[in-house]
Amino acid sequence: MNFVGKSMGFGRVLRISLIYAALIGLGALFSFPVIWMVSSSLHTLPEVFAQPYQWIPDALQWQNYARAVTILPVPRFLWNTIVITAPVMVATVLSSALVAYGFARFRFPGRDMLFSLCLATMMLPGQVTMIPLYIMFAKLGWVDTYLPLIVPALFGSPFYIFLLRQFFMAIPRDSEEAALIDGASRLRIWWSIILPQARPALATVLIFTFIGTWNDFFGPLLYINSPEKATLTLGLNLMKTQVLGSGVVEWNVLMAASLLVLLPNVILFFLAQKHFIKGISMGASK
């Protein structure tokens, strides 16, 4: 999608305006949930369900945010979430990249078989593997700790192994072969040749891992028992559980809290994508 010709004049302007029109139109469509969340977080509860919906309420209910913060001990849950997310990100990226490199570059008997097996673990629905896994972690005494949420990341994730393998296979072998002839070890090549070239892919994996872990609801729900060990996403659920059918969900406050939880995702994505574009231009200039 480059335009090399400089004499396109009108055609070029038209093209760029079309691109902008599409970007703005679709962008509005895709940012809709967040706009709606912001809007509904500033309504009173009856207004959230008023028909027709009034996008900007007569009085902005900023106190919903205050209430969200009093209900959710944000600093504590934030810390808990970081304690889980940070090691998971590091472990997932490194271990997945290492395994993926193996699958992308080494020829050994049974490799394809092993790769298939690795992929196969994704194909069995979690519903049936969950209980045996829980029993195993319970036997290890890891329930109500963060270990069941972190340790599996050390073994990489089939999803990212597959993703990175696809990217590694697209990297030309020339510089690698040169380094091999120079006597560099495979691990060294992986670290200093492959990883820098795969920066966009690694950034992708990092972002996905971050979002996946940050927003993971089911894992913490299963393994965390103590309220003070909750993550932000799990904590959100504390706002809507119902006892005896009496619970009235405060959707407006829930939306306010959800936005607070969402914010780091957006910021990180915004920053990281800038980074992986830089990574590209560096890779391209070799």
Partner 1 sequence: MFYSLYLSFTASSLLSPPQWIGVENYRRMFADPIFYRSLGNTAYYALLGVPLGMILSLGLALLLDAKVRGQQVFRTLFFLPSVTNTVALSLLWLWLLNPEFGLINTALEAIGIEGPLWLQSEAWSKPALVLMSLWTVGGQVVICLAALQGVPQELTEAASLDGAGPVKRFFAITLPMISPALLFNLIMGLVGALQVFTQAFVMTGGVQPGSEGGPNQSTLFIVLYIYKKAFQEYDMGYASALAWALFVIITLCTWLAWKFSKSRVHYEGGSA
Partner 2 sequence: MRKIGLLILSLLMAGCGGRPGDDRTIVYNCAANTDEIAALKPATEKFFARSGIRVKLNPFSGEQKLYAMIAAGQAPDVFYTNNAVRDRLAAEGRLLDLRPFVENDPLWKKLRPEVRTAALSVDGGIYSLGNWTHTNGVYYNRAAFAEAGLAVPSTDWTWEDLRSAAQTLTRDENGDGKPERYGIFIPAHFIEALEQMNHAPVDHDQLFLNLSPEAKEVYAKYLELIEAGIMPDIRRVQALGMQASQMLESGRVAMLVEAVPHPGLIETLTIDWAVAPLPRFGKKEPRYFRSSSGGLSLSASVENPQDAWRTLAWLISEAEPYQPSPVLAGVPFVTAWEEKYPQIEGRGFRAVWELSEQHPGGDPRYFVRFASWSMGPVMTRFQPWLDRLWSGDATIDEVVAAVPEINSGVEQDLERQVKSTAMEPVWREQLRKALAESKTP
Cβ partners under 8 Å of residue 259, min gap 6: 34, 37, 38, 41
255 binds, among partner 2, partner 1, none (CB under 5 to 8 A by kind): partner 1
Q: Which of residues 201-220 bind partner 1 (CB under 8 A)?
A: 201, 203-204, 207-208, 211, 215, 217
Q: Closest approach of Cβ 87 to partner 2, in Å?
A: 5
**Given 69, 71, 193, 268, the residue binding partner 2 (CB under 8 A):** 71
Considering only CA atoms, which of 240, 256, 278 is closest in space to residue 67? 256
Q: 199: exposed, middle or buried (C-beta count within 10 Å: 0-12, 13-18, 19+)?
A: middle
Residue 242 as a binder of partner 2 (CB under 8 A): the answer is yes
Stretch that binds partner 1, among 45-53, 68-76, 89-97, 143-151 (CB under 8 A): 45-53
Q: Which of residues 254-283 bind partner 2 (CB under 8 A)?
A: none
Which one, 5 or 75, has the nearer CB to partner 2?
A: 75
Q: Closest approach of Cβ 243 to partner 2, in Å?
A: 6
Number of residues that bind partner 2 (CB under 8 A): 51
DSSP letters for 136-147: HHHHTT-TTSSH
- Side-chain-facing half-sphere of 260: CA atoms under 13 Å: 24
Residue 155 as a binder of partner 2 (CB under 8 A): the answer is no
Which one, 113 or 128, has the nearer CB to partner 2?
A: 128
Ramachandran assignment for 216, one of left (phi > 0), alpha (psi -120 to 50 degrees), beta (any other): beta
Residue 88 as a binder of partner 1 (CB under 8 A): the answer is no
Cα 160 to Cα 35, 48, 166, distances in angstroms? 31, 39, 10
**How many whole angstroms separate alpha carbon 112 and alpha carbon 83?**
36
**Given 2, 7, 241, 285, the residue binding partner 2 (CB under 8 A):** 241
**Given 220, 252, 256, 260, the residue binding partner 2 (CB under 8 A):** 220
